[in-house]
Amino acid sequence: MPKQKVDEQYIIIQSLILFRQRSFHSTSMSDIAKACGILKGSLYHYFKSKEELMEKVIRYVHQYFKVEVFAKAYEENIPANQRFKNMMKASEKIFFDASTGKMYGNMGVESALVIPEFNPIIREFFQDFFNAIKHIYADKYAEEIANELAERSVAEVEGSIMMSRVFNDKSYIKNTHKRLLSRIEKSTEKQEKLSDSIV
Amino acid sequence: MPKQKVDEQYIIIQSLILFRQRSFHSTSMSDIAKACGILKGSLYHYFKSKEELMEKVIRYVHQYFKVEVFAKAYEENIPANQRFKNMMKASEKIFFDASTGKMYGNMGVESALVIPEFNPIIREFFQDFFNAIKHIYADKYAEEIANELAERSVAEVEGSIMMSRVFNDKSYIKNTHKRLLSRIEKSTEKQEKLSDSIV
Amino acid sequence: MPKQKVDEQYIIIQSLILFRQRSFHSTSMSDIAKACGILKGSLYHYFKSKEELMEKVIRYVHQYFKVEVFAKAYEENIPANQRFKNMMKASEKIFFDASTGKMYGNMGVESALVIPEFNPIIREFFQDFFNAIKHIYADKYAEEIANELAERSVAEVEGSIMMSRVFNDKSYIKNTHKRLLSRIEKSTEKQEKLSDSIV
Amino acid sequence: MPKQKVDEQYIIIQSLILFRQRSFHSTSMSDIAKACGILKGSLYHYFKSKEELMEKVIRYVHQYFKVEVFAKAYEENIPANQRFKNMMKASEKIFFDASTGKMYGNMGVESALVIPEFNPIIREFFQDFFNAIKHIYADKYAEEIANELAERSVAEVEGSIMMSRVFNDKSYIKNTHKRLLSRIEKSTEKQEKLSDSIV
DNA sequence: AATGAATGAGAATTCATTCAT
DNA sequence: AATGAATGAATTCTCATTCAT
């Protein structure tokens, strides 16, 4: 068995897995150390506190989303609706655990709700999410509308992730993705105002 | 009459206040006892564990919403849009703390995310929320559409509560309420299908 | 349902049942109160402490043995071996729980081992047990031998109760009873010394 | 080398001393920690619960008896009666506290009586005790008789330890040891059946 | 970097007991 | 006699963190 290469990133990923499964408060430093194959005390060589570790975990997820999800919004050679699909597909992969069939929540958000210290970090995440969506909508809608739609979309997505998690039923988030997509696909020309009907 | 200093409901309400401010994990039984003016041990006279107390707190909030918020959906002598407004107004009152200007989250939901044991209770809450909203939409929309709209609305509301909380900015939830309302007000006649445009 | 006549003796009996099943330390005043259909606080009208209650329970058992078991040793109109049989039969009834098939230990002894305060009470019990057995042996053996045999018998009986309890197997105590009996039955005449062989 | 203040065995021995003096229930983890010169929390570094500690204490005693007491039964180059004497002497040392003059009980047995979870461990102890005694008797008696005598001897020894403890008088256990010894010494040839007389 | 023993503060919980009513 | 709320001290256990090696 090759000696496990334990480095900061490895610990972050193991922590991420645990925090997602059992939340910040229900995961002890001991659990994390065990998952990494090192001892509790050794964690403090990499992170000066559990909070700092959590912060890095959230930043890691943020970075992951930036590269794997949000980036898809800016691949200008691809049509808007396809870019949107790509984003959704990439993000769905993150929230489902294929092996257990269980939904993960947005660990960062959940932590921010419970530990206000993480609020600023999570705001950055939302800001990037918002920007990505807005960028796509801006293809079809005027700035102000795109703005409003993006804000709303982020809320819808987050709300439906929560619903999917509480009911352990993917359909909430899947339906939301579909609906968001249709807002792009159905608007053939750049629109200046929101119509009165319902999507 | 016993030398009653507190009663179950009083403890529940004090706990609710603390759990909302600092979350379940960050509130100790000692904190709760102090807030109630009794000793830690005395709490176990009323609740056999911290989890049982939390469960009762969530049920209390659920009951409160039933009576103060969801009930407004069924006051049939009032027009649908007004009933909706009443619901929204009542719920906004709950999530804002007038004195500190801070937003509260949906404590029950947040706990459910973090402590899976509370999931079933929180589902009941969502079910009642969903039913109330659907009941109003059913005035204007066919069953199936009302259903879909209600499901979506719950997600939107929960998502925007979360956003409001993370950004400590009421406008997310206020905008959502407005948008949800417009879906009722703008549909003058009973509709059989969702239009293609965006609200 | 006729109101339960709760009196000192009723509480003692309920406590006895619980102490036997789960030992002194594992039985709380609350458990006892519940079993009696009264409230914890009310117990203190009858007994000023848990220790006093336990003491009375032990005395109750002692008294019970005096009347139901030891007394059989002094029914002079009955032959010694029959008196012995009667004693053994009466005591076996006490240590077996017919309904669960489980063995009870000698609760008093066990408590005395663990709580030295009960030592004096339990000594009285043993003294009476010893006297009863000695009285029977005195029919067949000289004073000194009867003395020695009685002392040994008490130890054998207590040891085999313990074994029966640990292995949950009545045969230990049953075999001991048989052996003790044979010491009486096989000695046809009054003996002045112990033979060299083994029973 | 770590800054080791104590090790597992040291804690076990300190616990043993306390459990013997004051019983399992009357000894707190705090007491044990104090006796070891460490903090309460540190105990959980070595044992995950008080019960696990107790289990290890019982196993330690069992092991001690195996090596220091029961092993003497199998030193085949020594005559049976001498082997018996050696066993008895070794075990007496364990039950008397030379400095206080007090008798200790068989802590394991007493715990088993009070905490049923320890029953299986204590059965193993008794089994080894039984085997050792039977092995010696088998020198002088036929298998079946040795069996019966051994079973009886274990009960007699345990019963007399109990008596010695309750009356704080070593003579019970000493007399028992003498009597058991005489069963070996007085049988000059291998016997096939128990005689009718009494030892 | 890594260890792992030790810390120390604090958590939830239990429970015998008291006492005003 | 009885209630049952409240006490308060003790108990087991957890856990982030420190530090000598």
Average per-residue pLDDT for chain D:
89
- Is any atom of strand E within 7 angstroms of residue B26's beta carbon? no
**Would you say B15 and A15 are in contact if contact means Cβ atoms under 8 Å apart?**
no
Q: Per-residue confidence at D197, pLDDT binned at 50, 70, 90?
A: very low
Q: How far apart are CA C33 and CA C38, in angstroms?
A: 5
Q: Per-residue confidence at D3, pLDDT binned at 50, 70, 90?
A: low
Q: Per-residue confidence at D108, pLDDT binned at 50, 70, 90?
A: confident
Residue B33's nearest nucleotide, by CA–C1', is F6
Residue D111 confidence (pLDDT) above 50: yes
Closest in B159, B165, B195 to A197, CB measured: B195
Residue A114 confidence (pLDDT) above 90: no
The residue among D2 and C164 whose pLDDT is bigger is C164
- Kindly report which listed range (A102-106, B150-154, D31-35, D180-184) carries the lowest average pLDDT score: A102-106
- Reading the block at residue D195, the tokens are 């005689």
- Reading the block at residue A114, the tokens are 């419970």
pLDDT digits (tens, 9 = 90+) for D67-96: 999 999 999 999 999 999 999 999 988 888
Report the amino acid identity of residue C179. R
**B12 and B64 co-located in one domain:** no
The residue length of chain B stands at 199
Interface with C, mutate which of D113, D119, D144 (most C CBs under 10 A): D113
Residue D195 confidence (pLDDT) above 90: no
Residue D1 confidence (pLDDT) above 50: no
CATH number of domain containing B3: 1.10.10.60
Distance from CA of D184 to the nearest CA of C (A): 10
Q: Per-residue confidence at A196, pLDDT binned at 50, 70, 90?
A: very low
**B72 and B41 co-located in one domain:** no
**B62 and B127 co-located in one domain:** yes
Per-residue DSSP letters for B35-88? HHTS-HHHHHHH-SSHHHHHHHHHHHHHHHHHHHTGGGGG-TTS-HHHHHHHHH
Q: How far apart are CA C148 and CA A75, in angstroms?
A: 102
Average per-residue pLDDT for chain C:
89
pLDDT digits (tens, 9 = 90+) for A56-88: 999 999 999 999 999 999 999 999 999 999 999
Q: How far apart are CA A106 and CA A94, in angstroms?
A: 9
Residue D188 confidence (pLDDT) above 70: no
Per-residue DSSP letters for chain A? -PPP---HHHHHHHHHHHHHHHTTTT--HHHHHHHHTS-HHHHHHH-SSHHHHHHHHHHHHHHHHHHHTGGGGG-TTS-HHHHHHHHHHHHHHHHB-TTT-PBP--HHHHHHHH-GGGHHHHHHHHHHHHHHHHHHHTTTB-HHHHHHHHHHHHHHHHHHHHHHHHHT-THHHHHHHHHHHHHHHT--S-BSS--SS--
Question: Which long-range contacts link C143-149 to residues 24+ away (Cβ below 8 Å)?
Answer: C145/C191, C145/C192, C145/C193, C145/C194, C148/C194, C148/D175, C149/C183, C149/D198
Neighbours of chain D (3+ CB pairs under 8 A): C
| Residue B160: inside a domain | yes
Partner-chain contact A110 B105, CB within 8 Å:
no
Q: What is the mean pLDDT of residues C132-140?
A: 94
From chain B, pick out residues whose CB is under 8 angstroms from the CB of A189.
none
Q: Which residue is nearest to nucleotide E4 (CA to C1')?
A: D2
For residue B182, give the nearest of B42, B55, B35, B84 by alpha carbon: B84
Residue B137 confidence (pLDDT) above 60: yes
> Does B23 contact chain A (CB < 8 Å)?
yes
Tell me the sheet residues that pair with C191: C141
Angle at D143 between CA D137 and CA D149, to 5 degrees: 50
Q: How far apart are CA C146 and CA C138, in angstroms?
A: 5
Distances (CA, A) of D145 to D132, D150, D193: 15, 8, 7
Q: How many CB atoms lie within 10 A of CB D41?
A: 9
Report the amino acid identity of residue B75. E
| Residue A10: inside a domain | no
Report the amino acid identity of residue C36. C
The residue length of chain A stands at 199
| Residue D103: inside a domain | yes
Closest in A112, A154, A196 to B186, CB measured: A196
| Residue C116: inside a domain | yes
For residue C186, give the nearest of C133, C131, C137 by alpha carbon: C137
Per-residue DSSP letters for C38-106? S-HHHHHHH-SSHHHHHHHHHHHHHHHHHHHTGGGGG-TTS-HHHHHHHHHHHHHHHHB-TTT-PBP--
- Chains D and C touch, using 3 or more CB pairs below 8 Å: yes
- Listed in sequence order, the residues at least 6 apart from B167 whose beta carbon sits closer than 8 Å to its beta carbon are A123, A126
Q: What is the 3-state secondary structure (H, E, C) of D12-74?
A: HHHHHHHHHHHCCCCCCHHHHHHHHCCCHHHHHHHCCCHHHHHHHHHHHHHHHHHHHCHHHHH
- Domain range for D88: 57-185
| Residue C173: inside a domain | yes
Q: How far apart are CA C183 and CA C156, in angstroms?
A: 13
Q: How far is the CA of B28 from the C1' of E10 (A)?
A: 10
pLDDT at B1: 41
Q: Per-residue confidence at B101, pLDDT binned at 50, 70, 90?
A: confident
- Is any atom of strand E within 7 angstroms of residue D38's beta carbon? yes
Q: What is the mean pLDDT of residues D95-112?
A: 80
| Residue A18: inside a domain | no
Instruction: Count the domains in chain D.
Output: 1
Q: How far apart are CA D88 and CA D179, in angstroms?
A: 11
- Kindly report which listed range (A7-11, A47-51, C185-189) carries the lowest average pLDDT score: C185-189
For residue D185, what is the nearest residue in chain C, using CA coordinates? C196
Distances (CA, A) of B4 to B8, B37, D25: 11, 12, 34
- Chains B and A touch, using 3 or more CB pairs below 8 Å: yes
pLDDT digits (tens, 9 = 90+) for B47-88: 999 999 999 999 999 999 999 999 999 999 999 999 999 999
Closest in C148, C162, C197 to D158, CB measured: C162
For residue B139, give the nearest of B190, B177, B188 by alpha carbon: B190
Q: How far apart are CA B195 and CA A106, in angstroms?
A: 32
Q: Dihedrals φ, ψ of D191, to 5°?
A: -105, 145
Q: What is the mean pLDDT of residues A113-140?
A: 92
Q: What is the mean pLDDT of residues A40-44?
A: 95
Share above pLDDT 70 across residues of chain A, in percent, rounded to a whole number: 91
- Reading the block at residue C98, the tokens are 């017919």
Cβ-Cβ contacts under 8 Å between A and B: the total is 139
| Residue B120: inside a domain | yes
**B138 and B164 co-located in one domain:** yes
Residue C161 confidence (pLDDT) above 70: yes
pLDDT at B146: 94
Q: What is the mean pLDDT of residues C122-132?
A: 95
- Listed in sequence order, the residues at least 6 apart from B31 whose beta carbon sits closer than 8 Å to its beta carbon are B18, B22
Q: How far apart are CA D178 and CA D185, in angstroms?
A: 10
Closest in C110, C155, C160 to D163, CB measured: C155
Q: What's the CA dihedral at B101, B107, B113, B119 to 10 degrees?
A: -160
Average per-residue pLDDT for chain B:
89
Angle at D152 between CA D147 and CA D154, to 5 degrees: 100
- Reading the block at residue D63, the tokens are 């092991």
| Residue B132: inside a domain | yes
pLDDT at C188: 56
- Is any atom of strand F within 7 angstroms of residue D63's beta carbon? no
> Does B126 contact chain A (CB < 8 Å)?
yes
Task: Provide residues 131-190 of B with CB closer than 7 Å to any strand F atom.
Answer: none
**Would you say D128 and D70 are in contact if contact means Cβ atoms under 8 Å apart?**
yes
Q: What is the mean pLDDT of residues A10-29?
A: 93
| CA-based torsion, B81, B85, B88, B94: positive or negative | negative
Q: How far is the CA of C108 from the C1' of F20 (A)?
A: 52
- Is any atom of strand E within 7 angstroms of residue D35's beta carbon? no
From chain B, pick out residues whose CB is under 8 angstroms from the CB of A154.
159, 163
**Would you say B15 and B55 are in contact if contact means Cβ atoms under 8 Å apart?**
no
> Does C158 contact chain D (CB < 8 Å)?
yes
pLDDT at C21: 87
Residue B32's nearest nucleotide, by CA–C1', is E12
- Is any atom of strand F within 7 angstroms of residue C48's beta carbon? no
pLDDT at A187: 63
- Listed in sequence order, the residues at least 6 apart from A12 whose beta carbon sits closer than 8 Å to its beta carbon are A53, A56, A57, A60
Q: How far is the CA of C49 from the C1' of F4 (A)?
A: 18
> Does B190 contact chain A (CB < 8 Å)?
no
Helix (H) or strand (E) holding C134: helix C119-137
Helix (H) or strand (E) holding C30: helix C29-36
- Reading the block at residue A154, the tokens are 């982020």
CB neighbour class for A116 (10 Å; exposed up to 12, middle 13-18, buried from 19): middle
From chain B, pick out residues whose CB is under 8 angstroms from the CB of A23.
113-115
Q: Per-residue confidence at A100, pLDDT binned at 50, 70, 90?
A: confident
- Kindly report which listed range (A15-24, C85-94, D179-188) carries the lowest average pLDDT score: D179-188
pLDDT at B109: 80
Q: How far apart are CA B16 and CA B108, in angstroms?
A: 10
Cβ-Cβ contacts under 8 Å between C and D: the total is 141
- pTM of the model as a whole: 0.90
Q: Per-residue confidence at B196, pLDDT binned at 50, 70, 90?
A: very low
**Would you say C24 and C54 are in contact if contact means Cβ atoms under 8 Å apart?**
yes
Q: How many CB atoms lie within 10 A of CB C93?
A: 11
Residue B40 confidence (pLDDT) above 80: yes
Q: Per-residue confidence at C116, pLDDT binned at 50, 70, 90?
A: confident
- Reading the block at residue A7, the tokens are 């480095």
For residue A23, what is the nearest residue in chain B, using CA coordinates? B114
Residue C197 confidence (pLDDT) above 60: no
Partner-chain contact B176 A183, CB within 8 Å:
no
Angle at A134 between CA A128 and CA A139, to 5 degrees: 140
pLDDT at A189: 57
**Would you say A140 and A191 are in contact if contact means Cβ atoms under 8 Å apart?**
yes
CATH number of domain containing A162: 1.10.357.10
Distances (CA, A) of B184 to A145, B143, B174, C4, D142: 21, 14, 16, 63, 98
For residue A43, give the nearest of A17, A11, A16, A3 by alpha carbon: A11
- Listed in sequence order, the residues at least 6 apart from A62 whose beta carbon sits closer than 8 Å to its beta carbon are A108, A121, A124, A125, A128
Residue D58 confidence (pLDDT) above 70: yes
pLDDT at C194: 56
The residue among B128 and C2 whose pLDDT is bigger is B128
